[in-house]
Amino acid sequence: MGGWEGGIRVPGIFRWPGRLIPGREVAEPTSLMDVFPTVVKLAGGTLPEDRYNTSASILNTIFLRCCGRCLRCWRWRDSIFKVHFFTPNFSPAGAVGCYDTSVCMCHGEFVTYHSPPLVFELSGDPSESRPLSPDTEPRLAEVLERVERAVTEHRRTLTPVERQLTWAKVLWKPWLQPCCGTFPFCSCEESHHTSRMPGQNYEM
């Protein structure tokens, strides 16, 4: 779904008799970055110390989606605003996936870059069908400025690590191969292309 809310607001069901309260609903979005450390802790394991900055709180406050190494969209978990730097060009027209190419790629004619980025107000427009403009949202410039500062700060917290999912490492290990795009089109196309606001590089 390319970062659209339809691909994010997917229900998850957890059952743990005696530990989880039946019928409880949690509306806050989560990701595997939330689930993985939780499951590791419950299993009595420990997280690798060379790739998780446990002292940083930024992952508890932001929700972002990337395509390859490029930042696709951003929002704070407690914010009503969501920002898209680029969006996929689904095919055929009107589809919600990349059926003509089998894989949703992150560059060139396969995406549309937005300058300025698209901004949506999720509480009133969860389908993200009405991009905000200065006429409909007086705070638009402030939102974009705050996001640009936040992205810059976030990139400062990133520490490069060895690429663990190169084809040389996963070719004979299908259980390690990432699945991107619309199932069953499980493949990922990484690119060095970026999405930009003036003066800002969104490659992660």
pLDDT tens across the length of the chain (204 residues): 568 888 788 888 989 999 899 999 988 777 777 788 888 888 999 887 766 554 444 455 777 788 877 889 998 877 899 999 999 888 888 887 888 887 778 888 889 999 999 999 999 999 999 999 999 999 999 999 999 998 998 888 888 878 777 878 888 887 777 665 555 555 554 444 444 444 345 555
CA separation for the pair 105, 190 (Å, rounded): 7
* pTM across the whole model: 0.72
Q: In 41-138, where do the E strands start and end?
A: 62-67, 70-76, 81-88, 111-121
| CATH code for position 147 | 3.30.1120.10
Contact predicate 191/70, CB 8 Å: yes
Which residue range is the domain that position 35 belongs to?
5-201
Task: Quote the pLDDT of residue 117.
Answer: 95
The whole-number pLDDT of residue 179 equals 62
Q: Cβ contacts of residue 128 below 8 Å, gap of 6+?
A: 4, 5, 82, 84, 120, 122
Domain count, the chain: 1
Cα 138 to chain center, whole Å? 26
The residues, any chain, with a CB within 8 Å of residue 145's CB and separated by 6 or more, are none
- Cα(130)–Cα(182) distance, integer angstroms: 24
CA dist 190 and 25 (Å) reads: 36
Q: Residue 194 has what pLDDT? A: 41
